[in-house]
Chains A and B, each alone.
Chain A
Amino acid sequence: MPAVSKGDGMRGLAVFISDIRNCKSKEAEIKRINKELANIRSKFKGDKALDGYSKKKYVCKLLFIFLLGHDIDFGHMEAVNLLSSNKYTEKQIGYLFISVLVNSNSDLIRLINNAIKNDLSSRNPTYMNLALHCIANVGSREMAEAFASEVPRILVAGDTMDSVKQSAALCLLRLNRTCPDLVPMGEWTSRVVHLLNDQHLGVVTAATSLISTLAQKNPDDFKTSVSLAVARLSRIVTSASTDLQDYTYYFVAAPWLSVKLLRLLQCYPPPEDGAIRGRLTECLETILNKAQEPPKSKKVQHSNAKNAVLFEAISLIIHHDSEPTLLVRACNQLGQFLQHRETNLRYLALESMCTLASSEFSHEAVKTHIETVINSLKTERDVSVRQRAVDLLYAMCDRSNAKQIVTEMLSYLETADYSIREEIVLKVAILAEKYAVDYTWYVDTILNLIRIAGDYVSEEVWYRVIQIVINRDDVQGYAAKTVFEALQAPACHENLVKVGGYILGEFGNLIAGDPRSSPLVQFHLLHSKFHLCSVPTRALLLSAYVKFINLFPEVKGTIQEVLRSDSQLRNADVELQQRAVEYLRLSCIATTDILATVLEEMPPFPERESSILAKLKKKKGSGTVSDIEDSRKERNVNANANVNGSSDHTITNTSAKPPPSFACDLLATAPPPTNRPRPIPSSSMLHTPLTPLSPKAYTPQPVTPTVPFYQVTSSPSSDLLGLGNSSAVNSASPPTSSHAASLLVDVFSESLPVAALGSASAHVIEENFSRFVCKNNGVLFESQLLQIGLKSEFRQNLGRMYIFYGNKTSTQFLNFSSSVVCPEPLSSQLNIHMKAADPVLDGGAQLQQILNIECISDFVEAPVLNIQFRYGGSTQNISVRLPVTLNKFFQPTEMTSQDFFQRWKQLSAPQQEVQKIFKAKHSMDTEITKAKIIGFGTALLDGVDPNPSNFVGAGVIHTKTIQVGCLLRLEPNTQAQMYRLTLRTSRESVTQRLSNLLSDQF
């Protein structure tokens, strides 16, 4: 007799389902459903009490309607009633409805909870199971709150039936997943571990799942499970296939449990206990051996089950990554599967090998299968499998096989499925760059990528090739030649036009000697593509044209003609129009020198992680953000920067304002041009579409009105700077420690101690500096973008300063870096250590940096804090003088009147005293003055001076090398609004400095 007999179902239900199935159209179906919904609604609302059978029938109908994709917004109450029924059939259907239809935040949960509570305590295993199922399937927080303590109790209670234990284990697992905070570990944990020894394999399976999940969060609590799991696994693996009876599946002993146990072991490192470890290795070897035995059945289920265990064992071997012999055996086994006739096995083998390739023991072994993998790339019928093959090729790639793999991937790309093309493009681009021995190959590869799959070449990829060409002198000529040739094709991808435009604009001069690629030919070639391109590409081409004007004066007329045409000057697109107008004007009025400066070659890009890699990582996640918009904005800002920076033409931009501190930045840190051996200085910061990858590229160029280009390059000091600067940019060291600004100051300070220092520090902001002489906390600097706050403490000759950088905008600051510069001789007088700041400062966020300061000897100058970051499109440079002053290292000294005057007399040499008479700048309030003197660091001595309105102070300056005692006297004259300050110390320089610092305060 069949377990479910047909025909004794609910007739009304059958009729309804048949009706629906006979509906000829969607409309008819909806009509029939609506009719039924109305019917059920009226039945539920009707005053006549429905019997259980009818309720069950209607709920089943609702379930069916729900399955067809229609919302069910009633019937819940009836379901709750069914759930609370004493009849199994009704209860069951009630639970079914709830678990299918009720979502976790429904108000009904509270009503249901009550019924569940009753069923859990009913001691009827069927009812308990229904209740546990319901908790596990709904898994809401409210349920967790109600049952989190009850479920573990059921799980470990001695008298619980096996089937209920199983359900309780998984129910607890679910609650732990949804609300881990509500399921506290407790004394039940150790008893759960012992369920691994249970007689009933179903209980063991459920318990293993539970422990695996719990062990991931609290590995220590479940450490004991390792030995039990190994023992259990060993018993299963060595058992005869008939031992486990019902749990033997197609001649494989308990495959699911074995898989779960092997998973559990992957939560832990290899067992430390030698015996357990040996036993586990034995198990794994047995599993590997069994794979070689002839199959006990021809059925696919047999091999599936066997291989499920085998793959899990291999995963464990890879996870442990400690037994070379096992790893190599695993690799050989996977190698066999690579050519197995079963597609599933080939798929899984490729997938497992990917993880195996990263192990040092087996990387070489994996590589031996390269031909097979390449072959599967070519011959597999299934895209999922081909995708795994691509992944594996990527994982096994190294310098020895990169060329082969890249070539194969490229040729596969021609026929690859559209869904995986972009990923392959990214992978090829990364491998080509990572393993490029000569960069001509790299350039060829990327151009091939664009040719084959131009649509799938994302911006990151073509940005990157340009980045690399710019940074490598040796490949520039080749790149120019190659793009020139590629552009000859009658139809070429727009991305190629972009790369071509950029590279010819920068390096077209390198191939201009050949009459076949003369400047005019180059220009006409580019311009022939112009009208087929989108606006951003056209904008880029316009920039290339203006660079041509600089590179090749002979084509100036032709290009001006083009720029002047109505289609450019009156282009509907504001960006294109603006560029045409500006470039035309620039080419007309600027002298050659200015043109050469403005259109200077792009500086090298800072070395950094490939943006493509980030893209690949991101790819599987959320969709890409639109970079074009950003780069557009940045371009505007930069175009402006240039235009404003050059002194002798009058174009002004209306579309964007330069960032507030721009002028200051330009003066403070403008790096001189690099002196690279090139025929004509040519470069463009106007080529700004590349913004996303090059913050440094937009460092303002040295286009200052006062320092014309040629003067800079001819002076000896700027040669030095040029070298220093280029090495700074090229150096691979992290950006936080060596950025152009700090290096610039360093170079200055070492070679040109006095004059240069003066000019460099002239732009250091110090307006708030004097406020900090008598206090330690406050706001040091504030602009529209950034606020810098300080908190500092000093003890003896040591100090610690907390610098807080607040981003006042809503936009991230990128490449944020800061450094502290101590010009000579300060660098030998103060030791300052600073931890590097986080490079990203989120909008509205604050960043803290700690400065440790040690005073070696007395000093006069103050250190300078240089900050650099990228906001919008431009790099911001801010230099602020840090209020580390000599008086910070005061220790106050209390003394009597007698002592004071005795010491005062000892310091009577003329160079030991400084006296200053000055006008009061603030109101002469006694209390404020007292506070200032105390804030200055000295002790305020009362009753020392015979005149009570005078102030007297004493203290000792602590430095590492010497200590300097200091006495001071301040005499206010309220009528004249004047002060007289007298300071005596044993050291002339100290006296002078302290006097200057303090006299500024009143």
Chain B
Amino acid sequence: MIKAILIFNNHGKPRLSKFYEHYTEDTEQQIIRETFHLVSKRDENVCNFLEGGMLIGGSDNKLIYRHYATLYFVFCVDSSESELGILDLIQVFVETLDKCFENVCELDLIFHVDKVHNILAEMVMGGMVLETNMNEIITQVDAQNKMEKSEAGIAGAPARAVSAVKNMNLPEMPKNINIGDISIKVPNLPSFK
């Protein structure tokens, strides 16, 4: 079973956290920090598995992670999951994100956290793998987008119009945010290794 799925950047800022077991908000934050601490100190090109931190259940659980450019994708799983299988699942997740967002980058995850959650929900449910077929996942996501669009077409038009006008004043708004020391935009999915 997958206990938790965490995405954070190189500085430990959480970008997505999904727990499939119940912890208090406080513990969740501590788990994120502990996991970041465990994962970030590891070199590149070491293995992708390590024993979980104490907070999430110690050595009974494994952390399986991948590091893409600025982001760590970490799955915390128990012994009933195949390590390599989960590693591939992370890859599927990222490839799916990449397709949905067109060259996904950290900013996409920040500004569309709801979408990321929806995509993840198509793959993992209650801690179990629901679907691994990328086309199937994307079909579902597309269907949802269509429904969203059609609803927006009827009811959202006025709001959308206003927002469009406002956007004109800030033409580059989302792309031009001062992000300090973080360089985000990654040309394409770096092939792992």
CB < 8 Å A-B pair total: 216
Closest 10 CB pairs of A and B: A136-B126, A308-B84, A174-B126, A382-B46, A343-B47, A3-B100, A2-B102, A69-B29, A88-B147, A347-B47
| Distance of A57 from chain B, by nearest CB (Å) | 9
Closest to A249 in B: B88
- Bound: A13/B163 CA distance, A: 12
> Are the CB atoms of A202 and B136 closer together than 8 Å?
yes
A contact residues vs B (CB 8 Å cutoff)? 2-4, 6-11, 13-15, 17-18, 21-22, 51-53, 60, 63-64, 66-69, 71, 87-89, 92-93, 96, 100, 103-104, 126, 132-133, 136-137, 139, 163, 166-167, 170-171, 173-174, 177, 201-202, 205-206, 209, 212, 246-247, 249, 255-256, 259, 263, 299-301, 304-305, 307-308, 311-312, 343-344, 346-348, 381-382, 384-385, 387, 620
Closest to A303 in B: B84
> Are the CB atoms of B112 and A9 closer together than 8 Å?
yes
Q: Is the interface of B mostly helix, strand, loop or mixed?
A: helix
> Are the CB atoms of A89 and B152 closer together than 8 Å?
yes
Closest to B54 in A: A623
**B49 contact set on A, CB distance < 8 A:** 344, 347-348, 384
- Bound: A304/B84 CA distance, A: 6
> Are the CB atoms of B82 and A308 closer together than 8 Å?
yes
> Are the CB atoms of A209 and B129 closer together than 8 Å?
yes
Closest to B117 in A: A96
> Are the CB atoms of A18 and B88 closer together than 8 Å?
no
Closest to A103 in B: B22
**Please, could you name 28 A-B residue pairs with CB atoms under 8 Å apart, sorted by A?**
A2-B99, A2-B100, A2-B102, A3-B100, A11-B167, A22-B177, A64-B113, A89-B147, A92-B114, A96-B117, A100-B18, A136-B125, A139-B126, A163-B140, A166-B131, A170-B130, A173-B126, A201-B133, A202-B132, A202-B133, A247-B132, A255-B88, A259-B82, A300-B191, A304-B88, A308-B85, A311-B84, A384-B51
Closest to A166 in B: B130
- Within 156-182 of B, Cβ neighbours of A (below 8 Å) are at 156, 159-160, 163, 166-167, 173-174, 177-179
> Are the CB atoms of B29 and A88 closer together than 8 Å?
no
> Are the CB atoms of B58 and A67 closer together than 8 Å?
no
Closest to B124 in A: A170
B contact residues vs A (CB 8 Å cutoff)? 1, 14-18, 20, 22, 24-25, 29, 32, 42-43, 45-51, 58-60, 80, 82-85, 87-89, 91-92, 99-102, 108, 110-115, 117-118, 121, 125-136, 138, 140-145, 147-148, 151-152, 155-156, 159-160, 163, 166-167, 173-174, 177-179, 191-193
- Bound: A120/B133 CA distance, A: 25
Closest to A135 in B: B126
> Are the CB atoms of B111 and A171 closer together than 8 Å?
no
> Are the CB atoms of B128 and A174 closer together than 8 Å?
yes
> Are the CB atoms of A382 and B91 closer together than 8 Å?
no
> Are the CB atoms of A246 and B108 closer together than 8 Å?
no
Q: Given A67-B113, A301-B88, A256–B50 Cβ distance below 8 Å?
A: no
- Bound: A365/B186 CA distance, A: 47
> Are the CB atoms of B193 and A300 closer together than 8 Å?
yes
- Contact partner of A4 (CB less than 8 A), chosen from B1, B20, B83, B112, is B112
Q: Given A3-B100, A137-B125, A343-B45, A17–B20 Cβ distance below 8 Å?
A: no
Q: Given A67-B16, A104-B22, A166-B130, A308–B114 Cβ distance below 8 Å?
A: no
Not counting A4-B100, A8-B160, A126-B147, a sample of 15 additional A-B residue pairs whose C-beta atoms are within 8 angstroms of each other reads A3-B101, A6-B174, A9-B174, A14-B174, A69-B29, A93-B114, A96-B114, A104-B22, A133-B125, A206-B130, A299-B191, A300-B191, A343-B48, A347-B49, A384-B47
> Are the CB atoms of B84 and A2 closer together than 8 Å?
no
| Distance of A3 from chain B, by nearest CB (Å) | 4
- Bound: A51/B151 CA distance, A: 13
> Are the CB atoms of A170 and B126 closer together than 8 Å?
yes
Q: Which of B15, B121, B141, B167 has the most CB of A within 10 A?
A: B121
| Distance of B18 from chain A, by nearest CB (Å) | 7
**A348 contact set on B, CB distance < 8 A:** 49, 83-84
